[in-house]
């Protein structure tokens, strides 16, 4: 059988080595294969273009179609689905061939994408995040006593309290196919009734969730800003920390000791501060942004210098999704180009437990890749604009 695609005269990035190999790349049956295929359904002469593995964004909300997340519960499921499909297609156009959704997406979206019904990145999802009453995932305004849980994935979190309560909630999300369990371990920007420094969930509750995830062969990632929340979650066995803007030296030590992962999401604070109000972000949430924005770059620099596993993430919502690639430009202020590229390829693949399958151009990997015209090792900000070519599963799915 002929190969589906051969890219000729390319500069192929070995992400681990940080070097290029000049030559051809062959894709067959959805995978990258050894060179030597004689014929192909399609051949493209790249004339020295730079080929990288398809990008991975490890913190997205594909169904986050509104900056004011509380309104999602009021919107028709069909409307949310339409917005999510649009978001996924746009992510693919930007070169993201795999994404990890950490609140909102469900099995239906992942299955539809895998079957080809939705054009978008491969979707690794965690279902609904777990939040304590009054925590970051509790979207009720002050004074509201109850609400009915939205039947669709637009509701990105669920409230669960007590050891038995969180065990049941974790088991239910795992039953629904979650690849990981996300826990709201501190306050946040978008929540209406808590503050950034709030430390949420008891150690017993955290350990119970970690125990349930581990028993199912999955892991726990936590939304956390202050060091008290970050450190306690890592001590409880969490494998990953989202955001981490206010981490301290002990946080970095724990990340390294436990071979855990940090997923900073700097662009979301840049975008929220710049235009969040224009997209419907409540002012009470906008006023929280500066607190975490100020510490974001310093935390990233501290974690990287300390040897932590740092992964690429964006966390954009509503009309700010188009800024996804801006994360490369922001990280370039403190990190070397190769480290940023690894965060969006090989290191992200390790977090998603797909090393050797995504984030690499090695034979046997999914044939997911992007082509750019300039050397991203010399200037990583070339990745802040959409790539010339996007290939997913050996098929050209985007051309600019």
* pLDDT for the residue numbered 135: 74
Q: Which class is 56-324 in CATH? A: alpha beta
Which residue has 């994360």 as its token pair?
A: 327
pTM of the model: 0.94
* pLDDT for the residue numbered 151: 44
Among candidates 306, 324, 305, 304, which has minimal Cα distance to 314? Answer: 324
Residue 338's φ and ψ, nearest 5 degrees, are -65, -35
* pLDDT for the residue numbered 288: 73
Q: Where are the domains of the chain?
A: 5-54+359-399, 56-324
| 121 contact partners, CB below 8 Å, separation of at least 6 | 57, 88, 91, 92, 96, 97, 98, 99, 113, 392
* pLDDT for the residue numbered 139: 60
| 327 contact partners, CB below 8 Å, separation of at least 6 | 265, 266, 267, 312, 313, 314
* pLDDT for the residue numbered 142: 56
* pLDDT for the residue numbered 37: 55
3 HSE (CA, 13 A, CB side): 23
Q: What does the pLDDT profile of the chain (400 residues) look like in tens digits?
A: 567 899 999 999 999 999 999 999 999 999 999 865 557 889 999 999 999 999 999 999 999 998 887 777 788 889 999 999 999 999 999 999 999 999 989 999 999 999 999 999 999 999 999 999 877 666 656 555 544 454 444 578 899 999 999 999 999 999 999 999 999 999 877 666 667 889 999 999 999 999 999 999 999 999 999 999 999 999 999 999 999 999 999 999 999 999 999 999 999 999 988 888 888 887 877 777 777 777 899 999 999 999 999 999 999 999 999 999 999 999 999 999 999 999 999 999 999 999 999 999 999 999 999 999 999 999 999 999 999 999 999 999 999 8
Phi-psi region of 359 (alpha: psi -120 to 50; beta: other; left: phi over 0): left
- Over its C-alpha atoms, the chain yields an Rg (Å, rounded) of 20
Q: How far apart are CA 389 and CA 44, in angstroms?
A: 10
- Which is the CATH superfamily of the domain at 5-54+359-399? Urease, subunit C, domain 1 (2.30.40.10)
């Amino acid at each position: 059988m002929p190969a589906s695609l051969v890219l000729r005269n390319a500069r192929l990035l070995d992400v681990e080595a940080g070097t290029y190999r000049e030559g051809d790349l062959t894709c067959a049956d959805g995978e990258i294969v050894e060179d030597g295929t004689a014929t192909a359904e399609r051949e493209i002469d790249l004339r020295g273009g730079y080929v990288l593995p398809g990008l991975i964004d490890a913190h997205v909300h594909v169904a986050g179609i509104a900056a004011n997340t509380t309104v999602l519960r009021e919107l028709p499921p069909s409307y949310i689905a339409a917005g999510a499909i649009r978001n996924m297609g746009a992510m693919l156009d930007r070169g993201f061939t795999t994404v990890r959704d950490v609140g909102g997406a469900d099995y239906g979206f992942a299955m539809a994408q895998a079957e080809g019904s939705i054009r978008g990145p491969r979707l690794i999802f965690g279902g609904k995040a777990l939040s304590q009453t009054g925590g970051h995932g509790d979207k009720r305004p002050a004074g509201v006593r109850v609400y009915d849980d939205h039947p669709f994935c637009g509701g990105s979190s669920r409230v669960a309290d007590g050891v038995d309560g969180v065990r049941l909630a974790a088991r239910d999300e795992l039953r629904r196919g979650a690849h990981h369990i996300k826990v709201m371990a501190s306050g946040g920007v978008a929540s209406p009734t808590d503050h950034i420094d709030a430390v949420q969930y008891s150690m017993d509750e955290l350990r119970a969730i970690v125990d349930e995830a581990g028993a199912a062969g999955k892991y726990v990632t936590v939304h956390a800003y202050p060091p008290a929340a970050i450190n306690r979650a890592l001590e409880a066995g969490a494998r990953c920390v989202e955001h981490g803007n206010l981490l301290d030296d002990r946080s970095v030590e724990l990340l390294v000791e436990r071979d855990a992962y940090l997923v900073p999401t700097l662009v979301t604070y840049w975008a929220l501060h710049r235009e969040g109000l224009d997209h419907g972000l409540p002012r009470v949430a906008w006023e929280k942004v500066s607190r975490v924005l100020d510490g974001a770059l310093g935390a990233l620099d501290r974690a990287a210098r300390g040897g932590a596993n740092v992964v690429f993430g964006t966390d954009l919502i509503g009309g700010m999704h188009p800024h996804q690639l801006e994360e490369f430009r922001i990280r370039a202020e403190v990190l070397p180009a190769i480290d940023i590229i690894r965060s969006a390829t090989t290191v992200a693949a390790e977090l998603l437990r797909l090393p050797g399958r995504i984030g690499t151009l090695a034979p046997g990997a999914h044939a997911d890749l992007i082509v750019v015209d300039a050397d991203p090792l010399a200037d990583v900000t070339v990745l802040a604009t959409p790539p010339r070519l996007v290939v997913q599963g050996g098929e050209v799915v985007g051309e600019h």
